[in-house]
Amino acid sequence: MIKKMTNFLVIGVKKYLPSPYVLALLLSLITFVSGWLFTEAGFMDMTKYFGDGLYSLLAFTMQMVLVLVTGHVLASSKVVVSILQKLAKLPKNKVQAVMFTAFVSYICSYINWGFGLIAGALIAKEIATVNYGSKIHYPLIIAAAYSGNIARGPSSSIPLAIATKGHIVEEVVGIIPVSQTLFSSWNIIITLALLIAIPFLFKAMTPNDEDSIEIKIDRDEVKEVKKVLNKKDMTFSERLDNSMVLAYIIGGLGLIYLVSYFMKSASFDLNLNIVIMIFLVLGIFAQKTPGNYVKAMQNAVKTTAGITLQFMFYAGIMGMMRGSGLTVMLSEWFISISTIKTFPLFTFWSAGLVNIFVPSGGGQWAVQGPIAMTAGASLGVDPAKVNMALAWGDSWTNQIQPFWALPALAIAGLDVGDIMGYCAMVLLMSGVIISLGFFFL
C-alpha cells in the first residue's frame, strides 16, 4: 500500500508542482491582490509597499547565503569526503544502506542544514557504489539523503533569528535564546522521534530487486588543488595560494574568537552569525589551503542562485503585508479560531502551507513571523513554541518543495520528480508525529 501511495504521489508531483521561482512570483501576486481587495490599500499603495520592501532583507539574505556555502565548503572537503567513504561501508545490505543514509543525513542536517544537504547527497552517492549483493534503488537512497532536511538543529534560521538582537519582532517578544526553542525538552522529543521513524519508513518503501532503479555512478570525488610545481619553482603568489600555514593561522584566530565568545556567553548563544563563523573556521581547516577553499567556495556559490533571486521577492511580500495591514488582519483571524492549546498546532499547519510558496526559513520568517508571533502574544501562547511551530512547518513541507533539493539533485544527477514521491511519504508521516508533539507536549 505504501508503494502504491508513493507511485501516485510521484505522478502528481511531476504534473502539478511549479518551480520555486514561479511559486515566489505567484505568492507575490496573491499578496498584492489580497491587499488591494481586502484592505484599504489601493493599487499604487500596494505597488509602493512592494517596491519599498524589495531590498529590506539584503543583510539577512547574505546571512542565508553564507550559512549554505560555508556548510557546502566543509562537506565537500577531502577529509569529510574520506569520512563519508568509510561510513558507506558500514551497512551490510541494501535495506540497511537506505536506513543508514536517512539516519546519517538527518544527523548532518541537524548539525547544519547546508552541510546536511551536501553531505547527505555525497554519502548516498558513495553508498550507491558499494556492492551489497543486490541492486540499490538510486532515487530512493537520494530521497533518504534529502529527508534529513526536515531536521531542525542549531543552524535553523527561524529559532536563530529570534535569538539574534534586532530581529523583526523583537518589540513584540524580545530575544528568545535557543535553550527555550531548539533545546527545549518538548522539541528534543519531536527531534528524536523523527530520527527513529524516518529510517524505518524508508525500510518499508524499499522495493524488490526487480523494481529497483540502479544507476551507474560516475565517481567525481572532490579533489583538492594540487601543487603542480615544486615549492622552489613557485611564484610568491602560488606559494601563498598553497600555504597551509597561512590558512591555519587565520583559522586559528577564528577558533580563538569562538572559544572566547562561548566562554563569555552566559548561555549557549548560537545565532546566525556564530553558526557562519563556526563553519567558516572548520572549512578553512578542512580545505587546508587558501587555494582549496576558493575552489570549493566557487562550487558552493552556484547553489545559492535561488536564494539570491527569491529573497528580494520575499522582502517585497513582507513590505506589502505590513504596509497594507494584512499582517494585522491575519493575526486577528488566527486569534479568532485558536486557543492557547491549539495555536501552536494551527501555526505548524499554516507554516507548512506557506512554505510551499516561500521555500526558505528566512523568507518564511520574514513573511509569516510577524503574523504568528503577534497573534500568539495576544493569546498568551509561549512565543518559543510558536517560533518552533513556524520552524517545523518550514522544514515539513520542504519534502515536497524542490527548492532545497536542487543542490542534492545536482550532485546525484537526478530530477525533482525522481525523489518527490518518496519525500511526500516522509511528509505524511512526519506531519502526524510533529502535530502530536505540538498538541500533547
**How much is the mean pLDDT over the chain?**
87
Q: What string of DSSP letters covers 252-280?
A: HHHHHHHHHHHHH-SS----HHHHHHHHH
pLDDT of residue 361: 81
With beta carbons less than 8 A apart as the criterion, state whether 361 and 395 touch.
Answer: yes
Task: From 295, 224, 280, 268, select the one nearest 65 (Cα to Cα).
Answer: 280
Dihedral sign for Cα atoms in the order 392, 352, 304, 326: negative
User: Could you tell me if residue 401 is inside a domain?
Assistant: yes
Counted domains in the chain: 1
In a domain, 260, yes or no: no
35 domain residue, yes or no? yes
pLDDT on residue 225: 46
Widest CA span in the chain: 75
| Residue in 284, 280, 299 with CA at minimum distance from that of residue 222 | 299
| Domain housing 322 | 2-215+299-440
Does residue 8 carry a pLDDT above 90? Answer: no
Give the pLDDT of residue 380: 93
Return d(Cα 440, Cα 345) in angstroms, integer: 10
- Assigned domain for 241 exists: no
> What gap in Å lies between CA 303 and CA 301, rounded to an integer?
5
pLDDT given for residue 184 in this prediction: 96
Can you tell me the distance from the alpha carbon of 2 to that of 204, in angstroms, rounded to the nearest whole number? 8
The answer to whether residues 331 and 375 touch, using CB atoms and an 8 Å cutoff, is yes
Q: Is a pLDDT exceeding 70 seen at residue 62?
A: yes
For residue 222, being part of any structural domain is answered with no
Task: Provide the pLDDT for residue 217.
Answer: 57
Residue 16 lies in a domain: yes
pTM above 0.85, yes or no: no
How much of the chain, in percent, has pLDDT values that exceed 90? 45
Q: Of 157 and 182, which is predicted with more confidence?
A: 182
Rg (CA), the chain: 22
Region of poorest pLDDT, from 88-102, 257-271, 286-300, 305-319: 257-271
Q: What is the 3-state secondary structure (H, E, C) of 291-321?
A: HHHHHHHHHHHHHHHHHHHHHHHHHHHHHHH
Mean pLDDT of 369-383: 92
Let me know the angle formed at the C-alpha of 91 by 218 and 117, rounded to the nearest 5 degrees: 55
**Residue 303 — pLDDT band, cuts 50, 70, 90?**
confident
pLDDT of residue 349: 94
Q: Does residue 252 belong to any structural domain of this protein?
A: no
Q: What is the pLDDT of residue 336?
A: 87
CA angle 422, 121, 418 (to 5 degrees): 35
Q: Is the pLDDT of residue 102 over 60?
A: yes
> Confidence band (pLDDT; 50, 70, 90) for 222?
very low
Residue 40 placed within a domain: yes
Mean pLDDT, rounded, for 309-333 = 85
* Nearest partner of 293 among 79, 116, 73, judged by Cα: 73
pLDDT of 271: 74
CA 277, 85, 405, 388 torsion-angle sign: negative
